[in-house]
Chains A and B, each alone.
Chain A
Amino acid sequence: MPRLFRFVPAARRGLAAGLLAALTLAGLASVGPVPAQAQVFDPETFTLDNGLQVVVVTNRRAPIVTHMIWYKAGAADEAAGESGNAHFLEHLMFKGTDKLGPGEFSNIIALNGGRENAFTSYDYTGYYQTVARDRLEIVMQHEADRMTNLRLTDELALPEREVILEERRSRVDNNPGGKLREMIQATLFLNHPYRIPVIGWEHEINALSTETALAFYRRWYAPNNAVLIVGGDITAAELRPLAEKYYGAVPARAVPERKRATEPPQHAPRRLTLKSPQVSQPGISISYLAPSYNSAGNEHAYALQILDEILGGGTTSRLYRTLVVEQAIAASASSGYSATAYDLGTFGFHASPRPGGDIAELEAALRAEIARTLEDGVTEAEVATAQRRLRAGAIFARDSLGTGPNIFGRALTTGRSVADVEAWPERIGAVTAEQVNAAAREVFQDNRSVTGLLLPAPSAPSGE
């Protein structure tokens, strides 16, 4: 896999499952009895006159800082027919400005012993550098520069389009599991742009141009549509003068409201089967539309995180215990829920049979567990255990330099506030079994689901 941008708190196997599944605050919680004002990261925040929101997460472990700019625009904000454009622009942001030549910012970062990268998702696009704290001003100067002075030519942009096509081949076209995930997403969402892959459909990537990228840039990239997050060996008082000097000089611009097509009612379950000679270990997934923190039905978001933990969190979860250990029909079984979408999220199940096992039998057993959850519900004891399991995560999350900045970046670009992040332990701690059961009934509806099967196909004549 290419290096996905994915910050997992320093926890290892076991804990990591829960923390990873969420890419969010799942796994963060308070320790001990939940105090009235539990603090997770205790950040400092301020806003510049031009509307740029700033968050500082101090971490004194080493004299280094992680500097991130997050734009509140991603693949779901692209114009129709221009899929992949947000990601294309992200690549082109490294191609220079009025002041710096192509790749020059990267060279400057390397010359200062820094590391950098960028990422694009449905709801946000981000750029970051990690540097020694005395080099922070240098990266701020140039990141602010490319917020407004990007310069592109076809000569620079068109080879990068080829790079993105190669990236697509690596992630999707070469990989039957990747192709199936793309089909599932396109089927689960009937109308919302989450149905379109972030990296873009190949034929639409081919039609992207310098002009489409610049149009996206001019529409969305502005200080009043961005969040600056700096984590590490620094305080707000130290950061503020630099933020004002560099980002403060970028004028605010009118940015359109994010308007996405919404989902209609869904009336039928869907089922997809992808067979490929490249598959030798079958798998099944069942995905349901689910509310996020920011969508209609968001009162269920915290309960769904508890539910995810009870059903699929690690080797003592319900699914692992029943399907993998007791019935001994699955090699793996897990669940996954992310609450951080700007619009609707998904709640998914994944399982793979033991070698020689029957996928139909496994599907029946998985569905029986979902049905049991709906009929019998979860117990208060299970909820308490999940809350206790999650609560240690807050401390583990504080350990690593990048975790806090990433959680704030995701929250603040998807409709939440710093206070929401800090209140997370309290809200998780307040969830009752009754609420978890209500959330399960709300989400586990066949008519809002897609079942995906990844199966072997007879070998093509070539083979190895």
Chain B
Amino acid sequence: MTTDMTPLGSIDMKPRSRVLAVILILALIPALIPALILTAAVPARAIEVQRVISPGGIEAWLVEDHSNPIITLDLVFRGGAALDPAGKEGLANLVSALIDEGAGELDSQAFQGRLAELSISLSFSAGRDTFSGEMMTLTENREVAFELLRLALTEARFDEEPVTRIGSQILAGLARDSQNPRSIVGRTMSKVLFPEHAYGRPVSGTTATVPAITAAEMRRFVAERFARDVMVIGVVGDIAAEELARRLDQTFLGLPAAAAPMEVAETTPVAQGGVVVIERDMPQSIVAFGHAGIARDDPDYYAAYVVNYILGGGGFTSRLYAEVREKRGLAYSVYSYLNPLQSAALVMGGVATQNERVAESLELIRAEWRRMAEAGPSETELRNAKTYLTGSFPLRFTSSARISGMLAGMQLHDLGIDYLERRNGFIEAVTLEDARRVAARLYDPDKLTVVVIGRPDGITATRPAPPLDG
């Protein structure tokens, strides 16, 4: 039986963007030490990240691990759906679903058949700012796996049958989303925050734009965007650096050296307060809220990260959790998070509560937003947050795929190959003064912009919902 329940939930409005790449491994502690040493500083050392540069000049970061005969590779190209031309929204997403549906001599079923037969997993996805690929294979099948990856990136066929089929699957998904309350809230929020910017447009496109995308346009996308100068690669597993170097050339040297010029304008979200209500007959309202945040490369980013953990980021221990769920039972899930996009930064949050108690929940959330802005965290809260955030760092190493994703992310965000050793230092360096200053800079309850779907009692819309593209 598969109905599992958990007491700690998070809602999917949170974008599933790749969590920033961070790794560090605590040194092995030889024996189990007695209980209740709460804040012991554990000596840390980084796992060995190797910079592999192929004879042809392709760079990848590698963590060798020969304990299982598995190789994972994560590949990210800078440039995502925000670059889709007007009227062709959904282009990057459609390409991501089609380049493994036939390439080179192999038609769709032949390509998918090779993957299935050898248990090679290959998939691509488009985000707002990036285009990503993931490969996972048994060591014994690596030759074919790298070759299929090469074919997908350089010789995708875009045959009529898969183009029609995958297009219909995307349209089916759009139809589902058109009535899905969480999706409606998310898309409405994007439109509200970015009325004039590419970030306001749907990554998957619309029922009008997806059918308008041609195979020629997808081929052009492949030719212009999959290029070596915008590519980062992370690899984990059962492969030696020398062999990887060789395979990098075989796989990626056929890509053009440089991508076509791309630019997404820097922007600031339009969030000056206000409430949008989408009337919907359902017992529980779903609420999203947010305003401008702090960029990933801002010197205050780590302070903001720590402060947000205290307000609404920490599972069973955040202020929002305590006030909204623990004390009053108003919601199953309530949270906030930083969402630093490449060209705009956000701090966002969400809650879902019965219609009768939306007003009370929002009032509490605004009050906590204000309290954090005005007074910041306490010394104890800051200390506890830092202990958690540094101590939980190694828990990110639970699988090869997670680590290879981190290696790619570290390169994408220019964090440096020694980032793993330095990351906890950035958290530790946040002072109470920093935390208070950044809390005041980050949170502004008067600018908190709210989108509600449901039949919320006692909530008055201050502006109409923007129309969503079908």
Q: CB within 8 A of B161: which of A134, A325, A338? A: A325
At the interface, yes or no: B38 with Cβ under 8 Å from chain A? yes
At the interface, yes or no: A136 with Cβ under 8 Å from chain B? yes
A13 touches B123 (CB 8 A): yes
B399 touches A281 (CB 8 A): no
B329 touches A162 (CB 8 A): yes
Interfacial chain A residues near B180, Cβ < 8 Å: 278
In the assembled complex, the Cα of A166 lies from the Cα of B7 at a distance in Å of 11
B399 touches A399 (CB 8 A): yes
Of A162, A166, A402, the most chain B CB neighbours within 10 A belong to A166
A122 touches B3 (CB 8 A): yes
Stretch from A112-120, A212-220, A256-264, A426-434 forming part of the interface with B: A112-120
A10 touches B325 (CB 8 A): no
B35 touches A138 (CB 8 A): yes
At the interface, yes or no: B314 with Cβ under 8 Å from chain A? yes
Interface residues of A (CB under 8 A from B): 1-6, 9-16, 23, 31, 60-64, 76, 87, 90-91, 94, 103, 106-108, 110-123, 130-138, 141, 158-167, 169-171, 173-174, 194, 197-199, 233, 238, 242, 277-281, 313-316, 321, 324-325, 328, 331-332, 338, 341, 345, 352-355, 385, 388-389, 391-393, 395-396, 398-402, 460, 462-464
Instruction: Kindly provide the distance from the CB of A26 to the nearest chain B CB, expressed in whole angstroms.
Output: 12
Instruction: Kindly provide the distance from the CB of A412 to the nearest chain B CB, expressed in whole angstroms.
Output: 16
Known A23-B2, A462-B279; contact A141-B35, beta-carbon cutoff 8 A:
yes
Interfacial chain A residues near B332, Cβ < 8 Å: 2, 163-164, 166-167, 170
In the assembled complex, the Cα of A197 lies from the Cα of B108 at a distance in Å of 41
In the assembled complex, the Cα of A345 lies from the Cα of B394 at a distance in Å of 38
Known A2-B332, A3-B10; contact A325-B108, beta-carbon cutoff 8 A:
yes
B67 touches A60 (CB 8 A): yes
A170 touches B391 (CB 8 A): no
Between-chain CB contacts (< 8 Å), 17 pairs: A9-B399, A61-B65, A63-B29, A108-B38, A110-B388, A111-B388, A113-B388, A123-B1, A161-B329, A163-B329, A166-B352, A174-B282, A174-B283, A198-B1, A242-B32, A401-B398, A462-B281
Q: Can you name 17 extra interface pairs (CB under 8 A) apart from A10-B72, A117-B7?
A: A2-B6, A9-B399, A15-B121, A103-B316, A106-B317, A121-B2, A132-B395, A134-B26, A134-B29, A134-B33, A137-B35, A169-B283, A277-B179, A314-B112, A396-B119, A399-B401, A464-B279
Q: CB within 8 A of A115: which of B161, B327, B353, B395? A: B395
Stretch from B53-61, B167-175, B213-221, B290-298 forming part of the interface with A: B167-175
Q: CB within 8 A of B68: which of A5, A12, A233, A398? A: A398
Interfacial chain B residues near A113, Cβ < 8 Å: 387-393, 395
In the assembled complex, the Cα of A338 lies from the Cα of B2 at a distance in Å of 8
Known A170-B352, A395-B138, A399-B68; contact A281-B176, beta-carbon cutoff 8 A:
yes
Query: In the complex, which residues 1-30 of chain B have their Cβ closer than 8 Å to any Cβ of chain A?
Result: 1-12, 25-29
Interfacial chain B residues near A174, Cβ < 8 Å: 181, 282-284, 286, 352
Instruction: Kindly provide the distance from the CB of B148 to the nearest chain A CB, expressed in whole angstroms.
Output: 12
A173 touches B465 (CB 8 A): no
In the assembled complex, the Cα of A60 lies from the Cα of B394 at a distance in Å of 13
Instruction: Kindly provide the distance from the CB of B226 to the nearest chain A CB, expressed in whole angstroms.
Output: 19
| Chain B count of residues within 8 A CB distance of the other chain | 104
Known A111-B39, A170-B332; contact A137-B70, beta-carbon cutoff 8 A:
no
Q: CB within 8 A of A395: which of B3, B69, B184, B327? A: B69
A62 touches B121 (CB 8 A): no
A169 touches B284 (CB 8 A): yes
A110 touches B7 (CB 8 A): no
A395 touches B70 (CB 8 A): yes
Interfacial chain A residues near B281, Cβ < 8 Å: 277, 460, 462
In the assembled complex, the Cα of A9 lies from the Cα of B116 at a distance in Å of 16
Known A169-B283, A341-B1; contact A12-B121, beta-carbon cutoff 8 A:
yes
* A276 closest partner in B (C-beta): B179
Instruction: Kindly provide the distance from the CB of A415 to the nearest chain B CB, expressed in whole angstroms.
Output: 13
Interfacial chain B residues near A114, Cβ < 8 Å: 391-392, 395
Interfacial chain A residues near B134, Cβ < 8 Å: 12
In the assembled complex, the Cα of A455 lies from the Cα of B412 at a distance in Å of 44
* B318 closest partner in A (C-beta): A110
In the assembled complex, the Cα of A256 lies from the Cα of B454 at a distance in Å of 45
In the assembled complex, the Cα of A119 lies from the Cα of B4 at a distance in Å of 6
Q: CB within 8 A of B6: which of A4, A9, A76, A173? A: A4
Of A61, A118, A388, A391, the most chain B CB neighbours within 10 A belong to A61
Contact pattern, B 28-56, Cβ under 8 Å of A = 1, otherwise 0: 11001111101110100000000000000
* A95 closest partner in B (C-beta): B326
Known A3-B8, A328-B165; contact A385-B117, beta-carbon cutoff 8 A:
yes
B315 touches A115 (CB 8 A): yes
Interfacial chain A residues near B116, Cβ < 8 Å: 14, 313-316, 389
Interface residues of B (CB under 8 A from A): 1-12, 25-29, 32-36, 38-40, 42, 65, 67-70, 72, 108-109, 112-113, 115-119, 121-123, 134, 136, 138, 161, 164-165, 168-169, 171-173, 175-176, 178-181, 184, 278-284, 286, 314-317, 325-333, 352-354, 384, 387-395, 397-402, 465, 468
A392 touches B390 (CB 8 A): no
Interfacial chain B residues near A4, Cβ < 8 Å: 4, 6
Instruction: Kindly provide the distance from the CB of A354 to the nearest chain B CB, expressed in whole angstroms.
Output: 4
Instruction: Kindly provide the distance from the CB of A388 to the nearest chain B CB, expressed in whole angstroms.
Output: 7
In the assembled complex, the Cα of A316 lies from the Cα of B266 at a distance in Å of 43
Interfacial chain A residues near B353, Cβ < 8 Å: 166
A91 touches B7 (CB 8 A): yes
In the assembled complex, the Cα of A171 lies from the Cα of B169 at a distance in Å of 24
In the assembled complex, the Cα of A12 lies from the Cα of B2 at a distance in Å of 20
B316 touches A10 (CB 8 A): no
Interfacial chain A residues near B333, Cβ < 8 Å: 2, 170
* A385 closest partner in B (C-beta): B117
B327 touches A14 (CB 8 A): no
* A1 closest partner in B (C-beta): B12
* B115 closest partner in A (C-beta): A14
In the assembled complex, the Cα of A32 lies from the Cα of B258 at a distance in Å of 42
In the assembled complex, the Cα of A111 lies from the Cα of B388 at a distance in Å of 5
In the assembled complex, the Cα of A423 lies from the Cα of B83 at a distance in Å of 51
A5 touches B4 (CB 8 A): yes
Interfacial chain B residues near A118, Cβ < 8 Å: 6-7
* B7 closest partner in A (C-beta): A91
Interfacial chain B residues near A10, Cβ < 8 Å: 72, 136, 399-402
Interfacial chain B residues near A402, Cβ < 8 Å: 398
In the assembled complex, the Cα of A280 lies from the Cα of B136 at a distance in Å of 35
Q: CB within 8 A of B1: which of A121, A159, A277? A: A121
Interfacial chain B residues near A60, Cβ < 8 Å: 67
A400 touches B399 (CB 8 A): yes
In the assembled complex, the Cα of A14 lies from the Cα of B333 at a distance in Å of 31
In the assembled complex, the Cα of A170 lies from the Cα of B283 at a distance in Å of 9
Instruction: Kindly provide the distance from the CB of B118 to the nearest chain A CB, expressed in whole angstroms.
Output: 8
Q: CB within 8 A of A94: which of B7, B68, B118, B278? A: B7
Q: CB within 8 A of B38: which of A1, A111, A123? A: A111
Instruction: Kindly provide the distance from the CB of B176 to the nearest chain A CB, expressed in whole angstroms.
Output: 4
Known A133-B32, A321-B109; contact A392-B172, beta-carbon cutoff 8 A:
no
Instruction: Kindly provide the distance from the CB of B279 to the nearest chain A CB, expressed in whole angstroms.
Output: 5
In the assembled complex, the Cα of A398 lies from the Cα of B164 at a distance in Å of 38
Instruction: Kindly provide the distance from the CB of B360 to the nearest chain A CB, expressed in whole angstroms.
Output: 12
In the assembled complex, the Cα of A262 lies from the Cα of B65 at a distance in Å of 49
In the assembled complex, the Cα of A161 lies from the Cα of B329 at a distance in Å of 8
In the assembled complex, the Cα of A61 lies from the Cα of B179 at a distance in Å of 43
B175 touches A281 (CB 8 A): yes
Instruction: Kindly provide the distance from the CB of B376 to the nearest chain A CB, expressed in whole angstroms.
Output: 19
In the assembled complex, the Cα of A380 lies from the Cα of B164 at a distance in Å of 33
Interfacial chain B residues near A385, Cβ < 8 Å: 117
